[in-house]
Structure 1
Amino acid sequence: MRKKIKSSLWLKIFLLLTTLLFAVSILLYGTIMAVMPASYKYALTSNYTEQVSRLIADLEHHDLDDATQKIYEFCINNNAGALLSGNQTSLSFGEGILDEQQREQNVFQTASASLALENGTYTLQITMSARAVNQLTETFWRLLPIVGIAVLTISLIASYFVTRLLTKPILEISDISKRLTTLDMTWRCDTSRTDEVGTLALNLNTMAARLDSTLKELSAANEKLQADIEQERRQEKLRVDFFRAVSHELKTPITVLKGELEGMIYQVGEYKDHDTHLRQSLRTVNDMELLVKEILSASRMAGSDFSLTLSDVDLSQLVRECCRKWQGAAEDREQRFQAEIEDGRTCQGDMALLQKAVSNIIGNAVAHSPSQAEISVTLAGNILQVRNSGVSIDSANLEKIFEPFYRVDRSHNRNTGGSGLGLYIVKTILERHGFSFRMNSTDDEVCFTAIF
């Protein structure tokens, strides 16, 4: 029970108010019980002497019968006792004259006087009884249990309603604070009150709104940070994969070139023909130079400090120039090359980079299509489609085809698969511009689509 009281504000206030109300009420009742008999006694005795003197003066020179009547009326009216004695006569009125023990318990005032009547002199003794005062005190004591039960009942009822009135808003705020610990900001306090509790509720609402806004901002910032971290991890993996692929791509031509040069230096077999193998070495160096240029271009565009030089680009003219560039190569490979380009199509972008991207797309289609294949370039609206027939790419390769140095040809032969950077450069350029693109493949056709 003690633990429950300690943990409940409502119970603490209820018990405290009940105890306080009961104690104050009982104390007030006790004060009344002590003061009222004394006040009553004081009221009775305050003019006792004057009343007795007035009675004696009124009885002077009256006969015994008249005096007896007046003394009797006095005793009745004042709850007193009297003894009239003299001339061998003794008359008792009211309670009469009590003995010493009774007088101490029941008498609080006594007076005696000599009274001269027509038939002689008498002695009059008057006593004021304390019975009424004692009865009043006894009545208070008898009523004490009833008053105590009534006071306790009223105290409990009053304490219940007062405690409920006082603690209801506090308990509501306590419940809200529990929800606040779980970062639940869907609650709102009642702000209809204009007292301190209402001010507290208003402040809590304001705090909750600001905290909710701050938490949302922190959550958004955290999500952005997580996305940035994930992006950085992906970028780091791409960089590692890129440099690993670069190392692999450069290792082969360097090894070939080194072997050719050593063979010529040591006059080994066919390498004695320097003119022939020097030309082959030069071709290898040229291939390496082209590869290094593509690597540098791809690396530069993938850097965080790279920026585009934006301008209005005549997309129709750009696609036509790229088609003219590759049409001759397609004819040399006995491929059918068709172009349908709408006039007046423009976009915002870096013209040199977009030209490189479109040229790589068309060149990739020409390079990877067999003889008699059909190469189709279409620009309708701002949608560019490049189709090449006679080839097919499975779904596994389609997912990786835009990765650096990835080739569909498993032999990784540059004569059939190129450097593996063409589509990666296309992807980087288009992503830098924010243009969407995709590669689709059917059983006998590959289609690249870009939306500018």
Structure 2
Amino acid sequence: MNKVKNKISWKIFLVFVSIILIFTTLVYAMLILFLPQFYYNYKTNQINDYADEAVKAGENGDLSNVEKALDEFMDNTNILPILTDSSGRIIYIPNVNMSSLNTAMPTSVQGSESESGSTATQYPEQSKTKNKSILVDGQVYDLSYTINVQKINDIANVLLQFAPYFVLFAFILSLLTAYFFSRRMVRPLLRMNKVAAKMAKLNFTEVLPIMSQDEIGQLSGNLNEMAINLEQTMLELNEVNEKLQKEIEKERQLEEMRKNFVTAISHELKSPLAAVMGQVEAMRYNVAPYDNHPKYLQESYQILEQMSKMIQEMLDVSKVEQTNHMGQQTMFSLTEMVETIINNKKTAPSRIDKKIIFESKEEVKLTANYAFTEKVIENIIENAFDYSIGDYEIIIDLHNRGEGFYFSVHNKSARIPEEELGKLFEPFYRLEKSGNKKTGGTGLGLFIIAKFLNIQAIQYKLINENDGVTFQMWR
């Protein structure tokens, strides 16, 4: 990182130094090449302009105005103008006492325009005499002046002699200027590079300070905005990924459960089916003791009845996966549903001696899938009847609790080992290890209850009490 920083700094620094040196060199060369000529043209035009002013002053018909104009001519240009009449006699020279002058102007002054003196090789017209006619009150006068800008070449010579000092000064100035400007540019660029490196590693914690409104400031703002958008996108992708992982894990578990379920079904149906086939085959050939057809036909029927019940429970389990069917929810009276199921269950002759206590004093409304809720309540009460000891009463409680409800069924039975409580909700798991369907059931009842309640977001729990077992569910 430091090597990159130094490399960037030196490159920018050298670029600045080169630009400044080239610029100053070009400016200085322009001064040497064009300043003398520019100065010569400027002075020539200035002298001619003042001469023209003197000519205009004569238009007023007053010679004194011409003399004033000639005084300004000399004061501003340092050129000596000479005013003569048509015969060559000197009429006026600024700052000269004319009474002491008795001689006529030399011939060289006369004429429309003549040259005198030698000139420099660079500017051949540096020194020359010019004449202009001035008409004052009908009389013509001649204005003579000599343009002498011989010293113009000194400017170029001085500039050439001063060049080494100027180059040294320009070099030092360029170093200082390049140093400050390069640091001003490099610092934000290095900060951007640092932040961009962190962004490449998915670290979006650092924010670039916006120190100006120029392109660098705008770039810093864009990087900050990009970091925010990338961070938000990464968070959304992580959330989606987590959901996807959960869905994949859930699908894997369902697939595993399906395999286990099919294996268990095959095992559970195979044994009773083989028993029925064996009994029927023996009765068909009157093999003793199966020649007693009424007795063994009844046993075969009971086995088939158990198989039918198991198949129906398997169909109920398959409906659990139909989420669109489970989504058909309505509001109904849970109190009325429980009362109806109790009345249907206790009418069986084998259950007349069972005492059920259900004294719900309030109407409980529930929004859920009616058919599956009825199946849950029916299975819970059915288990209470099947596993109650003697003629002990079954206690059912139902009441409103906050915005939800509470429902429980308590029956007297043997205590269930704590390590077995959670396993009872697994498919085909029975406390009765012998596999006897008469005493151990199919092992699907509590599994179906758990699936229906989980999908409908109803919580449940099976707990041991001092005198039995209680099944609770609530929302």
Could you state the TM-score of these two structures normalised by the residue count of structure 1?
0.69
In structure 2, the residue matched to 1:380 is 399
Quick one: which amino acid aligns to residue 14 of structure 1? F
Equivalences for residues 205-220 of structure 1 within 5 A: 205-220=224-239
Q: Which amino acid aligns with 2:10?
A: L
Identify the residue that residue 386 of structure 2 maps to in structure 1: 367
Does the Cα contact within 8 Å between 2:351 and 2:385 map onto a contact in 1? no
> Does structure 1 residue 246 correspond to structure 2 residue 245?
no
Deviation at 1:136, TM superposition (A): 7.1
CA distance in 1, matches of 2:217, 2:16: 23
Q: Which residue of 2 aligns with 1:416?
A: 439
- 2:15 aligned residue: 16
CA distance in 1, matches of 2:159, 2:367: 108
| Inter-CA distance 26–13: structure 2 relative to 1 (3 Å threshold) | same
Please give the residue correspondences for 1:34-433 in structure 2 after superposition, counting only pairs within 5 Å. 144=164, 151-191=170-210, 193-327=212-346, 332=351, 335-381=354-400, 382-433=405-456
In structure 2, relative to structure 1, the CA distance for the partners of 1:278 and 1:290 (3 Å cut) is same
Cα deviation, 1:189-233, whole Å, max 9, x if unaligned, reads 445633323333333334333333332322222121111111111
| Aligned mates of 2:349, 2:299 — CA distance in 1 | 26
Partner of 1:448: 471
The alignment partner of 1:244 has SS state of helix
Q: Per-residue CA shift, 1:90-117, capped at 9, x if unaligned?
A: xxxxxxxxxxxxxxxxxxxxxxxxxxxx
C-alpha RMSD over aligned residues? 3.8
- Could you tell me the percent identity over the aligned residues? 29
Q: Give the aligned residue type for 2:387.
A: H
Return closer, same or farther for 1:270/1:189 CA change in 2, 3 Å cut-off. same
Taking a change above 3 Å as real, the CA distance of residues 5 and 427 of structure 1, as seen in their structure-2 partners, is closer
**Aligned residue number for residue 101 of structure 1:** none
Query: Displacement of 1:140 after TM fit?
Result: 5.1
CA contact (8 A) 2:346 2:354 kept: no
CA pair 269-330 structure 1, distance change in 2 beyond 3 A: closer
| CA distance in 2 between partners of 1:6 and 1:422 (Å) | 72
Distance 2:159 2:212 in 1: 49
Q: Which amino acid aligns with 1:439?
A: L
Contact 1:316 1:344 in 2 (8 A): yes
Question: Structure 2 CA distance, aligned partners of 1:343 and 1:435?
Answer: 20
SS at match of 1:408: coil
Query: Which stretch of structure 1 is more off in the superposition, 13-22 or 407-416?
Result: 13-22
- Partner of 2:138 in structure 1? none
Aligned counterpart for 1:438 among listed residues 433, 439, 461: 461
* Aligned 8 A contact 2:17 2:178 in 1: yes
Aligned length in residues = 363
How far did residue 239 of structure 1 move?
1.0
Q: What is the rounded CA distance, in whole Å, between the counterparts of 2:267 and 2:311 in structure 1?
A: 13
> Does structure 1 retain, via aligned residues, the 8 Å contact 2:389–2:413?
yes
Distance 1:347 1:254, change over 3 A: same
TM-score (norm 2): 0.66
Distance 1:6 1:189, change over 3 A: closer
Structure 2 unmatched ranges of 5 or more:
39-153
Letter aligned with residue 314 of structure 2:
I
The structure-2 alpha-carbon separation of the partners of 1:5 and 1:393, relative to structure 1 and needing over 3 Å to count, comes to closer
Superposition deviation, residue 156 in structure 1: 2.4
Find the residue that maps to 1:447 and give its secondary structure: strand
In structure 2, what residue type is equivalent to 1:383?
A: Y
**CA distance in 2: counterparts of 1:204 and 1:416, whole angstroms:** 72
Encode CA deviations 1:51-88: one digit per residue, 9 max, x unaligned. Answer: xxxxxxxxxxxxxxxxxxxxxxxxxxxxxxxxxxxxxx
- Offset, 1:244: 1.2
Classify the secondary structure of the residue corresponding to 2:254: helix
Alpha-carbon distance in 2 for matches of 1:5, 1:230: 47
Deviations 1:255-288 (A, max 9, x none): 1111101211232220122222222212222221
SS in structure 1 of the partner of residue 470 of structure 2 = strand
Show CA shifts across 1:291-322 (max 9, x none): 11111122123334533443221111111222
Contact 1:331 1:337 in 2 (8 A): no
Question: Take 2:410 and 2:275, find their aligned partners in 1: how far apart are those partners?
Answer: 36
Contact 2:326-2:369 within 8 A present in 1 as well = no
Shift, 1:166, TM fit? 2.3
Structure 1: gaps (5+ residues): 40-131
Counterpart amino acid of residue 419 in structure 2: A
> Could you list the per-position Cα deviations for residues 333-380 of structure 1 after superposition, in whole angstroms to 9, with x for gaps in the alignment?
855432232331111123232222111111112212222544211112
Please give the alpha-carbon distance, in whole angstroms, between the structure 1 residues aligned to 2:287 and 2:14: 111
